[in-house]
Structure 1
């Protein structure tokens, strides 16, 4: 195989963007051959804009079984990602799914198992992993530049959404329609990067979510979470969709310095001596290790979605390891599930997450949701 034939499920905002990248030849070794959507208008748009030679489908199983594609990009509503990926693996297709991996980890674990059994290449659209900024942060930590991590702190409140945004669709910001709010819709990239750059998951969490704060919605739109890591390090994650002006600041403090990311800039504060060594030797009343403030060059921002698609295609054609393996989507989702579960139970949540308990709690929210959708909304309409 020297070219991968791609089908796209869902021609909403994200699916449309991926389709344009493919027909503009931004992804080497890939060709768009089919699309699937339940909307006649979106399919007509595809015929007009993407070419009459494109195969169009209203049923995803028909597209999977058509023989017209080798791999699929899934761009449907959150709940459908795992079931549509599992079906694709069953048809022998490679899969690239949009974030999030799903709404609850129990369904995502089934998806990961299906991917493993299929032997196909499975990726997830965590395009922020392509940013030179965060790749450099990960490298600095892995190389020991700040020593053992002691604290992490991320404030990400750039997701301001007015009431009119939520009013634009009855499924928005509902438990039955989206399965969550700022954690599932706006912050998945940061939740993924948080655990990816530090290289570890916490052992327990206590979180406080506000539901419909300053807005008429069902789901969480302001969150503060505290975590503890196996090493004894701690962390805080704060996010909001009702705060303006917003902030995006990441701090990672280690035994030998700290990293600060803000305004697309990376600053390293490098201590001459580790805090542990200094503390053992220092005999004065006040003092601290000498340190240097270093602005780390990281190159121009990237993060375009097609870079992850290219990485996935390279994995299919060349067997190269993926930057964003689909199986890793469960990590960030575990964090968001734990934040909700801690709030609903008003208690600590341990990792690994009690997936059955979270599923039960989520179903309670779905049953009380104002939308008419079932607990597993289907369909391929716009996101």
Structure 2
């Protein structure tokens, strides 16, 4: 990176000292090439408490921390409406940014984050730590190596996100368009959508159906997405917080082999002859007489590279800034999964297929309409969504 750090260790600040922010702070302190320089939280008591816990200067105004000279990089762990303005402010102070998922609520805001960091020549990373899981890394290597042949289908089922009504009732902002900006696609499933496109590839179009069942909430708790890759490959993605027992399945079928991940199990079915050859070489027309290629299922071994996915993501981000190594997930990667979920919202609303990339203006209008129709009526001056949008608009004009 062009930005030079002031020491051999990368000095981090953390914005948002809630549960996740404290986990990040602990990982930074424990890292070999990272050190915690400061913490920030808009709620002053939380900032002070974290400052005392980690023995670093606390700030109730993130901007003051950005300008303090105490840090080289920052982790944004605030409510996601605040991610875009905070990222842009940090980048303008020359700081590298590692942002929690989702990067933003809307694709337009996320694109602005990526553009600003590129313009300022600072690194932007996404906290998509599930990429560090051994099973996912193995799937990625096998698909990229061509072992599966031509990819025909990508399918993911994630019903292991079950939530109770008590979960949604635990905060007045939960389960509302005004407070969260979305349901399972925006809050629970970003990791799944990221793995889907990282390993299976980015689709060309999406058709989506979303619904809410069991729970009494505004946002969707169930989503069914169908993808077109534009090359004959098709995909499907199903996620819900309203089913039991939970299932965690990721399948990629190719014309040479099929990969199936379920929980911690990874299996591969290899065909004795590629389908693309057998379909033309077999001269039998009667289906009952066709002898298909033999298929052998076997377990696939893989190794874990870490015991803490978040800590590994932070370590890799620091190595990227200090030594130019590859980070776990870039800002562009965070952009990709949000592109899918935003397009799915538009598709479900309009009842038609939506090509990618999705129109940011259409997304903004849709989510603004949904938020304004929210049962959670708020004074605009107290709306985090509106405050963040106003701040972002002001920043982009300056």
| 1:97-176 correspondence runs (5 A) | 97-176=99-178
Instruction: Identify the residue that residue 208 of structure 1 maps to in structure 2.
Output: 209
User: Cα distance, 1:302 vs. partner?
Assistant: 4.4
| 1:279-358 correspondence runs (5 A) | 279-284=279-284, 285-300=289-304, 302=307, 304-358=309-363
Please point out which of 351, 358, 365 is paired with 1:360: 365
Please point out which of 29, 33, 36 is paired with 1:29: 33
SS of the residue 1:42 aligns to:
helix
- How many Å separate the matches in 2 of 1:46 and 1:340? 37
Q: Is the 8 A contact 2:85 2:388 kept in 1?
A: no
Instruction: Identify the residue that residue 3 of structure 2 maps to in structure 1.
Output: none
Please point out which of 65, 78, 81 is paired with 2:80: 78
User: Cα distance, 1:280 vs. partner?
Assistant: 0.8
- 2:8 counterpart of 1:6: no
User: Cα distance, 1:72 vs. partner?
Assistant: 0.3
User: Cα distance, 1:266 vs. partner?
Assistant: 0.8
SS of the residue 1:33 aligns to:
strand
- How many Å separate the matches in 2 of 1:327 and 1:45? 34
User: Cα distance, 1:376 vs. partner?
Assistant: 3.6
- How many Å separate the matches in 2 of 1:126 and 1:15? 15
SS of the residue 1:246 aligns to:
coil
Q: Is the 8 A contact 2:28 2:314 kept in 1?
A: no
- How many Å separate the matches in 2 of 1:343 and 1:111? 26
User: Cα distance, 1:339 vs. partner?
Assistant: 1.3
| 1:179-198 correspondence runs (5 A) | 179-198=181-200
User: Cα distance, 1:48 vs. partner?
Assistant: 3.4
SS of the residue 2:87 aligns to:
helix
SS of the residue 1:316 aligns to:
helix
Q: With a CA cutoff of 8 Å and minimum separation of 6, indicate the structure with the bigger relative contact order.
A: 1
More helix by share: 2
| Cα deviation code 1:77-132 (max 9, x no counterpart) | 11111111111000000110011111110111111001111111221111011111
TM (norm. structure 2) is 0.91
Instruction: Identify the residue that residue 4 of structure 2 maps to in structure 1.
Output: none
For structure 1, the residue ranges without an aligned partner over 5 or more in a row are none
- How many Å separate the matches in 1 of 2:54 and 2:307? 26
Instruction: Identify the residue that residue 48 of structure 2 maps to in structure 1.
Output: 44
Query: Closer, same or farther in 2 for the Cα pair 1:116/1:239, shift >3 Å?
Result: same
| 1:56-71 correspondence runs (5 A) | 56-71=58-73
For structure 2, the residue ranges without an aligned partner over 5 or more in a row are 1-6, 390-398
Which segment is superposed worse, 283-292 or 148-157? Answer: 283-292
Which segment is superposed worse, 279-288 or 368-377? Answer: 368-377
- How many Å separate the matches in 2 of 1:305 and 1:173? 26
- How many Å separate the matches in 1 of 2:386 and 2:334? 19
| Cα deviation code 1:220-247 (max 9, x no counterpart) | 1001111110211111100001111110
| Cα deviation code 1:241-282 (max 9, x no counterpart) | 111111001111111110000021110111121001011111
Instruction: Identify the residue that residue 232 of structure 1 maps to in structure 2.
Output: 232
- How many Å separate the matches in 2 of 1:184 and 1:302? 26
